[in-house]
Structure 1
Amino acid sequence: MMKKATLILYSCIFIFFSCGVPQEEYDKLKKENESLKQEIADCQLTPVQILEQANEYNGNLEYEKSKSRLIALIEKYPKSTEARKAKRLLKKVEKEIEETKKALERDKLTENNNENFKKAIGKMKKKYDVSNSVTWYSDKSSTLSGTKNFLHTYIGKKEKRKPWMGISVNHFSKEEWLFIKQIVITADGKTYTIEEENPGEFKASETEGGMREWFDRVLKEKDFEMIKQVAESKSAKLQLIGKTTTKERTISLAEKKAIKNVLNAFEALGGSLK
């Protein structure tokens, strides 16, 4: 079925371009073909697989995608055990979607009343975690992909409480494990060391054909000097010191700009960097 849909597309491409059909018509056909291939792929999924997709989207706070998968499961396999589970999860997901809308509306009212706030928060992407009543802010350029190498900061904010900041470092390799023991950040000659405060803070797992190692922690007052220094630095390096190997890379201009944007948003939300 998949090969047939692809063959149809290629045949139409040849006919369209041979006859001089406008690009708009071709694009429309291509979109319809992609939709057909997706429908065929969905038809091959079992109830268990669809539920797994919905749970994964929900875990990533992608509630609309989770809702779409759950509805598809309930409609296609209404009498299955997974459909019963989907109905229970759907209620929670719909509640999360509604709470997210309310949280964004509250933020929008605040933004409209404060230009500086609006400017700072405008550079952030936001997700609301209804189970913990937390709005998460991160720079729009930041990635959470486990297959990317990054250093970024983010903000957590509960209603009527001051915000907090966190730091996240991710390392991905298809070559070897580091088994990170220590992280060293150097910014314009100043050196800062990050070590485990509790066992297991440096995490590792196999993912997507490679090895992922990462670290995530709420920033303490003593850490703000390090973050501000990195954001303002001309030259900054990140060292990941492993069991037998050390990896070093330059902290990019994009990463530093993103950190600076998060620091500005943190202050706009009522946080203190002192």
Structure 2
Amino acid sequence: MNKITKRILILLTTVLISCGIPQTEVDKLNAEIETLKKEIDECKNGADKLFAKANLHFEQKDFNASQNELNTLIQKFPASEEAAKGKELLTQLNIEIEKLSQQKQKEEIERKKKEEKRLSDATKNMRTKYDDINEITWYRDKTSPQYNNYNGFFGYFGKSNTGIPFLRLRIQYAADDWLFIESYIIKVDGITYTIEEEKYGEIETDNGSGGVWEWLDRAVSEDELQIMRAVANGKDVKIRFNGKQYRKDKTINSTQKAALRNVLDAFDALGGKIY
């Protein structure tokens, strides 16, 4: 009985008593109301109606709803013909639920196999190096430079034994003369991005055998990740190395872009995260 019905009955009883109608007559009227309510409920939720709803849910493959209706049917009308049919339908329903469970298990196995293959494909182009002191495995595309005396714009990432991958960006400049780089301007298909030195000495320098090397190596933020993805997928990509007095422009070629895509794919596939 809902709150509105209770309030109506209380009000009706109060009115009848106030009109001088004996309590016995009021009780009799209340009993008739309760009987009428049960008849209405059976009309709405009788055995035939419950079975019809359960069967409809079954056909729609809404097995949980069908199961609830059948359990209600069997509990309320255990001796009815519909309850007998409901038990048969419940048996079929349990078979379908088991089939569905087995199908989900099969799909999960297939999903895991595909995920393992995706991870394998993503890392097959990576060169790995294990740092046993810090317990970190470093991943770098096989075509990316290993040493400072090569020009490069590339990403790489590390993964600890218990953590998730973390991404780094490295920009290298190698030439005969110093630029003393302070910032980089990257132009991707007409859109310009800037990467600046955030603190003094962040862009490091070295020299040897007649050459000079300047490089930036930093943890990737959301802004740098956006730049890396743009470069990886861009068609016409150029980088300007801005020095204290001079500058140098270079094209980021297809090999560098492919390497960047490989690293980003592997980073994503291994569950990498930008902090």
**TM-score, length basis structure 2:** 0.57
d(CA) in 2 for partners of 1:226 and 1:182?
14
d(CA) in 1 for partners of 2:185 and 2:115?
41
- Asked if 2 retains the 8 angstrom alpha-carbon contact of 1:180 and 1:242, the reply is yes
Alpha-carbon distance, 1:161 to partner: 1.3
d(CA) in 1 for partners of 2:236 and 2:273?
25
d(CA) in 2 for partners of 1:266 and 1:111?
19
Number of matched residues?
164
Aligned to 2:117: 115
- Asked if 1 retains the 8 angstrom alpha-carbon contact of 2:220 and 2:274, the reply is no
**Letter paired with 1:124:** M
d(CA) in 2 for partners of 1:111 and 1:230?
31
Q: 1:192 to 1:199 in 2, by over 3 A?
A: same
- Please point out which of 135, 138, 151 is paired with 2:137: 135
Q: Secondary structure at the match of 1:127?
A: strand
Superposed CA deviations along residues 203-233 of structure 1, whole A, max 9, x for unmatched, are: 1121222111111111012221111100000
Aligned to 1:187: 188
Superposed CA deviations along residues 70-102 of structure 1, whole A, max 9, x for unmatched, are: xxxxxxxxxxxxxxxxxxxxxxxxxxxxxxxxx
1:97-112 counterparts in 2 under 5 A? none
Q: Secondary structure at the match of 1:181?
A: strand
User: Over aligned residues, Cα RMSD in angstroms?
Assistant: 2.0
d(CA) in 2 for partners of 1:183 and 1:117?
33
**TM-score, length basis structure 1:** 0.57
- Asked if 2 retains the 8 angstrom alpha-carbon contact of 1:147 and 1:208, the reply is no
Alpha-carbon distance, 1:160 to partner: 2.4
1:1-274 counterparts in 2 under 5 A? 114-174=116-176, 176-272=177-273
d(CA) in 2 for partners of 1:111 and 1:150?
35
Q: 1:273 to 1:189 in 2, by over 3 A?
A: farther
Alpha-carbon distance, 1:170 to partner: 1.0
- Asked if 2 retains the 8 angstrom alpha-carbon contact of 1:148 and 1:172, the reply is yes
- Asked if 1 retains the 8 angstrom alpha-carbon contact of 2:221 and 2:274, the reply is no
Overall identity of the aligned pairs, in %: 37
Superposed CA deviations along residues 89-124 of structure 1, whole A, max 9, x for unmatched, are: xxxxxxxxxxxxxxxxxxxxx999700000001111
Aligned to 2:30: none
Alpha-carbon distance, 1:272 to partner: 4.4
- Asked if 1 retains the 8 angstrom alpha-carbon contact of 2:179 and 2:244, the reply is yes
**Letter paired with 1:203:** E
d(CA) in 1 for partners of 2:189 and 2:238?
9
For structure 2, list consecutive stretches of 5 or more residues without a partner in the other structure: 1-111
Q: 1:153 to 1:111 in 2, by over 3 A?
A: farther
